[in-house]
Chains A and B, each alone.
Chain A
Amino acid sequence: MRARQGEAVAAFGQRALAGMGMEQLLAEAVRIVGEELRVDIVNVLRLEPDGDTLTMRAARGWRDEWLGQGIPSVSAGTLAGYVLRSQRPVVAEDLRREVRFRSSRVLERAGVVSAMAAPITGPERPYGVLGAHSLRPHHFSVDETHFLQAVANVIGAAVERDRVETLLRDSEARFRELADTTPALMWTTDPGGRVTFVNQGWLRFTGRTLEEEQGDTFAMSAHPDDRAELREAWRRAMASQEEFRVEYRLRSATGRYRWVLEVGVPRYVGGEFAGFVGTATDIHERRSMEDVLRESEARFRELADSAPVMIWTTDEHGRVTFVNRGWLEFTGTTLQDELGDTWALGVHPDDVPGLLTSWAAALVKAEPWEREYRLRRRDGEYRWVLDQGVPRFEAGSLIGYAGTATEIHERKTMEDRRLRVYEQEHRIAETLQRSMLPEKLPEIEGLELAARYLPAGTETAIGGDWYDAMELPDGRVALVVGDVVGHGLRAAAIMGQLRTASRAYAQVEPSPVEVVARLNRLITGGEDEGMATVLYLVLDRDNGKVTFTSAGHPPPLVLEPDGPRFLEGGRSVPVGAADPAVFRQGEDTIAPGSTLLLYTDGLIERRDVPLERRLAQLAEAAGAAGGELSELCGQLVSAVLGRSEPGDDVALLAVRARPIRSPVLELTLPAEPEALSTLRRRLGRFFHALGAADHEVYELTLTVCEAAGNAIEHAYGPEDASFDVRVTVAAGEVRAEVRDRGRWRDPRGEARGRGLRIIEGLMDEVDLAIEPGGTVVRMRRRLSVSAAA
């Protein structure tokens, strides 16, 4: 490549990477090629998803009158097709004498004599072809070939980047939707660490707007004393792309700082690092209690060092014979007051009986004695003391006791406080756990969802159960139930981590076994050791297909019209039990109208009954329960657990295909071939929900799509347009209407003839009407008896 051309490509590459729009980039490309090679025509052809059609995306020197002539497809065997097949630049110095490929009418009409074209690679399949053509005979040098290919490569790289960005945007949008249904504080960043999103929970907490939070705002709202530590943790996490956790004070909307625990996990989209996703949990109460504890402990040590020792002695009858100065200073009494049978003197009335009994018992046996009780200080306040006495003997017989008393008030009350902290922790964990469960289950079209969460009885610490439901990019639905082994804050924290991660993984990983394997890597790779059972199930609403992995989790139960059954298969070890671990995937199909039940083992936990029996009881109870979904959950829980509080946490998630309330489906879709797959899914779901048999669902879906295909192919020119579909069901008959706003050209070719034959063959009645507004196909078909019922 000549130096000047090399420079041009380098500059172009830099501008492309700096983020130019696709249109602008292609326009730049044809301009540079045109100027550097001094050719008459430069164009970029894009290969459409069908792998055959080519579309002109950018051109230079292309005259208007040549437009609209149609670009020959790959199968026509012209230059573009040849380049795409050979995957390297091709030069044809005289098109008229070319034998490797056919000459195209467009190039002929344009008067092209010499042509050169280079393939543009794409992420999955070729993107298209970059062409440079001359109207006079032209010799293309090897340098020029390299230059053209270099420009094509820059375009290819930009296409790849564009795709990743689109992927990222899509998954981002979906993630935001999910995140906003969570009351926890969440955020995401881009790969450069700039904050791209914080959820509603975060905005409520900080009282700022999304715009204020976006950008280089990391650690912006942290307490000045905590910023350095937070930034360091963040810097390390960005460098290693590894998970991090840090506790710091975050400024709240009121201006006060509250302690939060922040956990960040790297995200990957299409295999590429896409930044971090994180959650912050309010742990202020726990942190504050810890601070108080630390302080009081320090104070105790100080006091103990400076406190006067209290010493006393008795005679063999237990009568006080001496107390030291320290004692008198503490109680404010005189020695006279203290001598004799004065054991109850100054003792808190509630502690007197216990003290006297224990002292008498020790004295009788001449044994060492020890007691904690409250003693009145000189200022009138009762303070906890620890009193210890040892017997003294002379020639084998008891001559009395000598003892010391120590003030333990601080420690004693601190322990009470510690107990309170434990209770508080329990409450925090519970709150944390609650906050991790969706505030409300998401609205998923065609599905009814209900859930129950019952925390364990108060004696047991809180567990780490959770459930979740979300729509996947491919239109299927993921359902998750999990149970972290162990209890308390730690279990709740691991649960939060697994839940956040499974949400993120679900968006990029269609296969359950892969999602679970990733969760395993996350939990075994982290600092916290932990283990969890997880059931991750993906449901295809169109055909009832379920794919699932059960990592040590009890099997899901499906209530089919024929009765309940468990979905066996996909059994694997719990997440966190081994690394690497082998996870399996089970597949099944559930009957239309079924209810799926996912639960944690708290629902079936009864130590005295074998597991088989407990599962059978659950199936029996579920088979007997009925009615509206959330009612069914309630019935099931009370049937299985009775009135007692569960011994362990219970999470229950129930899912059912929603019965169609209004038997009408109305859709307006763009008149593009790509709209057909959307239409198929919507129709499939609609007809399935009616209870139509599989072959009826298929045939009805096919005919409506054939009519839609006609509208897409024949009703419009290349400009944007749309078509309407309306399907109604009444009295056991389906009526479908496909309406476009164009005028059909004559159905061309045998293929369309077959399309019409399919429509006519599968429907009872078909009517094609050309109306002023467009063309309407109206079709009717009676449903089989079972569906009509």
Chain B
Amino acid sequence: MTGLADVAVERRGKAVVARLSGEIDMTNASYVGGELVRSVPNEASGLVVDLTETRYLDSAGIELLFELARRLRRRRQELRLVLPPSSPLRRVLLLTEMHSVAPLDDELDSALAHL
């Protein structure tokens, strides 16, 4: 808990789902990044970060997702992001080519189906 954002982690079969709610900026990005890294055990097939409840994500937040993808790739684990089609974050994520390292799904179920 950092006040601005909250990370809720849940196991779904072999995958880990982390729901990111609230606002992520340079004041809490590294904290949130740490929480996400710690949430993935070695035996997990991958991590789904659900951004449905994320109200704000600046470049520090985007950087933490890139860093997370890098780390997971090294451990041969996949990172997928869930983002509803109407989310205002969408354009920014596409602009920074986030989808090149973490595929975007509209819904959690389709993200889990890919893992």
Contact = CB atoms under 8 A, between A and B. Distances in A.
A159 interface: no
Q: Kindly name the residue among A543, A697, A701, A751 whose own CB sees the greatest number of chain B CB atoms within 10 A.
A: A751
Interface string B66-81: 1000000000000000
B30 A51 contact: yes
Given A676-B25, A713-B26, A702 B58 contact: yes
A676 B91 contact: no
Q: How large is the interface on A (under 10, 10 to 19, 20 to 34, 35 or more residues)?
A: 20 to 34
A475 interface: no
Contacts of A460: none
Contacts of B60: 709, 751
Interface in A43-63: 49-52
B27 A676 contact: yes
A758 B27 contact: no
Interface in A692-714: 694-695, 697-699, 701-702, 705-706, 709, 712-713
B6 interface: no
Given A676-B25, A713-B26, A751-B60, A757 B95 contact: yes
Contacts of B89: 698
Contacts of A757: 95-96
B28 interface: yes
Given A709-B58, A761-B95, A673 B88 contact: no
Nearest to A675: B27
B55 to A, nearest CB: 8
Contacts of B56: 680, 698, 701-702
Interface string A669-701: 000011011001000000000000011011101
B12 to A, nearest CB: 26
Given A750-B63, A754-B59, A680 B23 contact: yes
A324 interface: no
A779 to B, nearest CB: 15
Interface string B27-66: 1111100100000000000000000000110111011001
Contacts of A712: 26
A51 B34 contact: yes
Interface residues of B, number: 26
Contacts of A677: 4, 23, 25, 27
A712 B25 CA distance: 13
A550 B63 CA distance: 43
Contact of A709 (B2, B31, B34, B59): B59
A617 interface: no
B92 interface: yes
A50 B64 CA distance: 13
B88 A699 contact: yes
A456 interface: no
A695 B95 CA distance: 14
Nearest to B63: A751
A761 B62 CA distance: 15
Contacts of B113: none
Given A694-B88, A695-B91, A50 B59 contact: no
Contacts of B25: 673, 676-677, 680, 705, 709
A758 B95 CA distance: 7
A673 B26 contact: yes
A676 B26 CA distance: 9
Contact of B59 (A51, A699, A751): A751
Q: Kindly name the residue among B1, B25, B91 whose own CB sees the greatest number of chain A CB atoms within 10 A.
A: B25
A757 B95 CA distance: 8
B59 to A, nearest CB: 4
Contacts of A676: 25-27, 58
Contact of A699 (B31, B63, B91): B91
Interface string A395-431: 0000000000000000000000000000000000000
A694 B56 CA distance: 12
Interface in A290-314: none
Contacts of B55: 543
Given A677-B4, A709-B58, A758 B26 contact: no
Given A695-B88, A699-B92, A758 B28 contact: no
Contacts of A49: 2, 27-28, 31
Nearest to A710: B59
Contacts of B95: 757-758, 761-762
A75 B92 contact: no
Interface in A417-460: none
B92 A758 contact: yes
A758 B96 contact: yes
A751 B67 CA distance: 10
A709 B96 CA distance: 17
B27 A754 contact: no
B50 to A, nearest CB: 18
A751 B96 CA distance: 10
A706 B89 CA distance: 14
A752 to B, nearest CB: 7
A107 B92 CA distance: 42
B96 A698 contact: no
A752 B59 contact: yes
A705 B58 CA distance: 8
A712 B88 CA distance: 25
Given A52-B34, A677-B23, A750-B66, A758 B59 contact: yes
B30 A50 contact: yes
A124 interface: yes
A584 to B, nearest CB: 21
A762 B30 CA distance: 25
A706 B95 CA distance: 14
A51 B88 contact: no
A753 to B, nearest CB: 9
Interface in A4-49: 49
A755 interface: yes
A757 B91 CA distance: 12
Contacts of A699: 88, 91-92
A646 B113 CA distance: 62
Contacts of B96: 754, 757-758
Contacts of B92: 699, 702, 758, 761-762
A709 B2 CA distance: 19
Contacts of A754: 59, 62-63, 96
A49 B29 CA distance: 10
Contacts of A52: 30-31, 34
A706 B30 CA distance: 17
Contact of B31 (A50, A705, A755): A50
A677 B63 CA distance: 18
Interface string B1-20: 11010000000000000000
Contacts of A695: 88, 91
A694 B85 CA distance: 13
Nearest to A697: B88
Nearest to A50: B30
Given A49-B2, A673-B25, A761-B95, A698 B59 contact: no
A75 B58 contact: no
Nearest to B88: A698
A751 B33 CA distance: 14
Given A51-B2, A694-B88, A762-B92, A706 B58 contact: yes
27 contacts: A49-B27, A50-B30, A51-B30, A51-B31, A52-B30, A75-B34, A674-B27, A676-B27, A680-B25, A694-B88, A699-B91, A702-B56, A705-B25, A706-B58, A709-B25, A712-B26, A750-B63, A750-B66, A751-B62, A752-B59, A755-B58, A757-B95, A758-B59, A758-B62, A758-B95, A761-B92, A762-B92
Given A49-B2, A695-B91, A761-B92, 5 more contacts: A50-B30, A52-B31, A754-B62, A758-B58, A762-B95
Interface of A: 49-52, 75, 124, 543, 673-674, 676-677, 680, 694-695, 697-699, 701-702, 705-706, 709, 712-713, 750-752, 754-755, 757-758, 761-762
Closest 10 CB pairs of A and B: A698-B88, A51-B31, A755-B59, A751-B63, A761-B95, A673-B27, A695-B88, A52-B30, A754-B59, A673-B26
